[in-house]
Chains A and B, each alone.
Chain A
């Protein structure tokens, strides 16, 4: 196949890997109505943990699980700061994010690269046994797709459990949760834990894919996450059969596609972000066109 196809494969792969982060942001921002800035710290946290474990020869699959556990801990910290210590939501996230910058460097030492001879989830034996016949870029696509779809399905299933319904209620109508005699604080903490678990997983997969941890890789990821959630949910809000989680994954792919278009057009770097912004605007305006006008929540 031609180069165009490769480019689409590469772009969609990036979109799927970062979709894990978007799913995390979807839980806090869209469901819990909690603007969680922990993401800028928990994303590189996942990568730092994965990088250190990979360089120590730990099984690549295990590195993802450990990264998720550590990410969960980061979410727990933000939750406890907010709920138990009464710090405002934005500030609680900022505190954890700031602290994580140092913790990430403590974990990884400094920016850390993973040798090409080290197996990642894309090259380890079990992956090769299943998809070894494919070239690496397709294998990366398939593995990322599996991760995104599996976690989407788990989330969908979770949202229809009692705990998941409570989570949604806290964001929509928190008084209801109190009348049900449930503690909305612990529900919020749970939401933050699940969210940052996914964000750290995304960071860990990026580390596997790039074979590197960079301490500044978290910068701007909250903004990315928010943009993808808004793009996805706005675009599909009239299509009832598309679940929010699916919309968010597509939002993430579209975001990466916008950047790819800007790159492919050969635009100067200084204009790249502007073009990306214009593309977002077009998508949002198209998605928002309905009689009631602009939805202030979008």
Chain B
């Protein structure tokens, strides 16, 4: 009998704990669901909060943040979004596609506006219609190809590794293949299905004699970047990143989106919704087009490469 009582008590306790996060507050709560711990996504989030403040809103007075991280687990992203919905947050923010998809599903009947960021193709992700808006982070492929051409005038082939199941990567590869000939490059790409295959793909591309590697914002690839760089440094083949964090780790250079700026732009859109100046429904999503050049002088020197002055003067030194 005692055992039954304990069992029932535990079940009750579990459900009672739900109440902890459910107090009714007067200050509007912005629920941020970030798909996982990742430098670019962290930058988006920090930029987002900065954007709200830039729009004249004060944290604690005009809004509070309920930040949750799904640890790259779709099921947890679903439950986080449900928590936001149950707590009737003022706005749900989804950082990266799976988090935004979960928020949009949880917001379906409550009409809670959803704001997303760090999504390459909102149309394909079906996040372009309804009470939803946000910012898209399309890779500046032209600028990247131009950058590689200027740093390596003799290069012929660019190696790219991508995950076949990531729509963002698949559309980026298509764009690379379409535009590479204009810059005199051929693309040698290898699709992988999981992270453990990435280093094998690096070996394959190195044996094919690619002149350099260029990264997409592919989570599987970026996640094992240090071990990629170990192999490529040994082979003296430079790797170009797709954003600042990759250059910090050791890529030679990148024409990349500034994720803080992307976050700020998203934060300003959310501020308009919060102030009642616009609704997510009638605000179309925005694609960021500005990019920065990031260089890592130490990595460049190791490869014996130089950045032409026209780029060097605009570039941001990101090496350690």
Contact = CB atoms under 8 A, between A and B. Distances in A.
Contacts of B165: 105, 110-111, 214-216
Interface residues on A, range: 35 or more
Interface in B59-79: 66, 68-71, 73-76, 78-79
Given A14-B79, A264-B20, A283-B10, A4 B126 contact: no
B109 interface: yes
Nearest to A258: B14
Classify the interface of chain B: helix, strand, loop or mixed: helix
B7 to A, nearest CB: 6
A30 interface: no
Contacts of A33: none
Interface in A227-243: 235, 238-239
Given A110-B167, A113-B126, A212-B101, A14 B82 contact: yes
Interface stretch (A153-161, A174-182, A265-273): A265-273
| Residue among A6, A217, A264 having the largest count of chain B Cβ atoms under 10 Å | A264
B105 A211 contact: yes
Contacts of B109: 135-137
A3 interface: yes
A286 B105 contact: no
Interface string B78-118: 11101101111000000001100110111011100000000
Contact of B15 (A105, A136, A257, A287): A257
Contacts of A116: 104, 108, 126, 129-130
A238 B19 CA distance: 31
A260 B79 CA distance: 7
A269 B88 contact: no
Contact of B79 (A11, A113, A217, A282): A11
Interface string A215-259: 111001000100000000001001100000000000000101111
A224 B75 CA distance: 11
B101 A263 contact: no
| Residue among B6, B19, B83, B166 having the largest count of chain A Cβ atoms under 10 Å | B83
Contact of A209 (B20, B76, B105): B105
B222 to A, nearest CB: 16
A10 interface: yes
A113 B3 contact: no
Given A113-B125, A263-B76, A286-B6, A7 B14 contact: no
Nearest to B170: A110
B17 interface: yes
B21 interface: yes
Given A113-B125, A264-B20, A238 B3 contact: yes
Contacts, number: 154
Given A3-B88, A10-B82, A14-B78, A110 B126 contact: no
B283 interface: no
Contacts of B102: 210
Given A269-B37, A273-B71, A6 B85 contact: yes
A256 B79 contact: yes
A266 B75 CA distance: 17
Contacts of B124: 113
A272 B98 contact: no
Contacts of A287: 7
Interface string B272-287: 0000000000000000
B170 A263 contact: no
Nearest to A289: B3
21 contacts: A7-B83, A8-B15, A14-B78, A14-B82, A110-B167, A116-B104, A116-B108, A136-B108, A136-B109, A209-B105, A210-B78, A210-B101, A257-B15, A263-B80, A264-B20, A265-B17, A268-B69, A269-B70, A273-B71, A279-B14, A286-B3
Interface of B: 3-4, 6-7, 10-11, 14-15, 17-22, 24, 36-37, 66, 68-71, 73-76, 78-80, 82-83, 85-88, 97-98, 101-102, 104-106, 108-110, 124-127, 129-130, 164-167, 170, 193
